[in-house]
Structure 1
Amino acid sequence: MREWWIHVGLILIPLLAVFLHIPPPQLSPALQKWHNAGDTFNFRGNNVFYRDSYGALGNVDIIILLHGFPTSSYDWYKIWEPLSHRFHRVIALDFLGFGFSDKPRPHRYSIFEQASLVEALVSHLGLTDQRVNLLSHDYGDTVALELLYRQVASDQNRTGHLTINSLCLSNGGLFPETHYPRLLQTLLKDYTYLSPLLTRLTTYRLFTKGIGDVFGPYTQPTDAEFWDMWTGMRFNDGNLVLDSILQFINQRNKHRDRWVGALTSSYVPLHMIYGPLDPVNPHPQFISLYKRLVQRSTVSILDEHISHYPQLEDSTGFINAYFNFINSF
């Protein structure tokens, strides 16, 4: 009997060690290159990763890219070069808890904090007196709406630190009534007693299944792209903060009037680039509501097989739609 328990202990101890600290996967050369091309700045005691590249000469236009959940600024790599040919400066960051930025825990992640992070980056780069163009996706859409709200509030003699020249959104859950989070997202945000177990037991296979479900059947990521998304999320144990970050869904519900109100009342040029096969913000419910509520915005609906990650699934269609918008005013 004693020997039986010894054998069980010898098996359980390494399993427990793996459960408590699963080593992060190795970065691919492409993702390592992206990391090496960036820099960090300090935000409230945490290091935040960003990239800032100079592009078109003789141009003063600046664009800031705001990525989605659960990925990172690397989501923009396919359109980085064409953006650099159009803009003087192209800037992207990893939000706190994402990518190569710090992932503190325990921590109360919020859309408000991420918006303040963007403002802090703008200040760090000395751009507070510049007009900037925002291009956002998914989670980044809601951060952009908080920044938009602050600009509207600033026009009414309140606090605002960013001057938005234009805003282009893409496939974000702007309206709680047309947003359908994935099952794992719902479990992580609502069932806190399960979250520590689920975040540690999320494997590469489960991750790719979840991400693959929000891509179109003909636009699935390559194995290399899946791996880069996975390693970016796992960097600095990012899987362990997913449940905390996912509280943004509850924040969207609570602050709907604030953020949708900013969208409907702002006079900043607005555009929506939309992949219509998106199961998270499905067609036609989402886009019909958007057109009805945000009548000043223009809209580009991509091919019917494009889903939740349009900048990765159809980078040419995405960048053409964006340039048509930005060159129209």
Structure 2
Amino acid sequence: MTPPTDDIDSGCPLLFGRVLDGNGGGRIIEWAEAQKWVPAGPNEVIWLHVCRTEPGVQQWLEEGLGIPESTAELLTSDATRPRAFRDGETLVATLRGINFNPGAEPEDMISMQLWSDGRRLITLRRHALQTPREVLAMIDRGVGPPDAGATITLLAEMLITRMSQAIVDMNSVLDELEDDDPDEHAEAMLKRISTIRRNCLGLKRHMAPQHEALELISRDAPSWFEDDDRREIAESIARLRRYLDDIDISKESALVLQDELRARSLASSEHATYMLTIVAGIFLPLSFLTGLLGINVGGVPGLDDPDAFWQVAGLCALLFVALIVVFRRLRWL
């Protein structure tokens, strides 16, 4: 079977559609048939994955599915903060996943809106998202979810599971930075650490509301949402909570490493300044003496003495040794 793609035909908002048979499989359904679909059996459920930016999507939601205007606007809007609510026997939610598209950063989250009444499941997205395509591949192999509740649960679970890869990648970078030589790559290391901290903040800011949305689904889902689905959602919530804790740990580790690098850089700078101060303290009296003897006025001692130079040089050497001794006794050296 052809691998699922996320491409759309011009003028058709449907990315893919399947009619679930209740046993883990499903048949392909096209856009024309999907708009007039009615269940042929008690276990049939239709799942349509739609590009919400295509023209006519909101109108289809309102007129074709009977979704209230305010809900249809939410499903097609750019208000992508994770949330969920129940409207009678329908469930509406907005979830977010990691953006693994080329050139994207982990904190560039992708949103996915969903609406379901138990017999129909509509998921909507703006940018390509890998999770729905993975679930679709499972259905095409006959090992997918049997109904709408299980599909929603699996989508939420896989969105959360993909977070672990981003966290593992960040921790791997932190481990590499801890083993790197800060004296040679301090500036590059600080830049990478700042990127990790920014990613951690972005993940925490986007995923923390998803925790609340999943809790609402688990607590207040419609009756067609089975007990097994609620338990799976509870497991996903627990996993998300652990990931959020891991993000906090990664952020603190990055902060500790960043502070250590900055402290080492500051200590190196302070040591250089200290050594320059010591050198200046040693040579300042010598410079004063030689400058005093070099003034171009009458009466300078030794002006006519051929041995005066060596006498001054010896005096400077004695003064240099005396200053070294004094500095050592003061523990400046």
> Is the TM value for this pair above 0.5?
no
Which one has a larger percent helix, Structure 1 or Structure 2?
Answer: 2
TM-score by length of 2: 0.27
Q: TM-score under structure 1 normalisation? A: 0.27
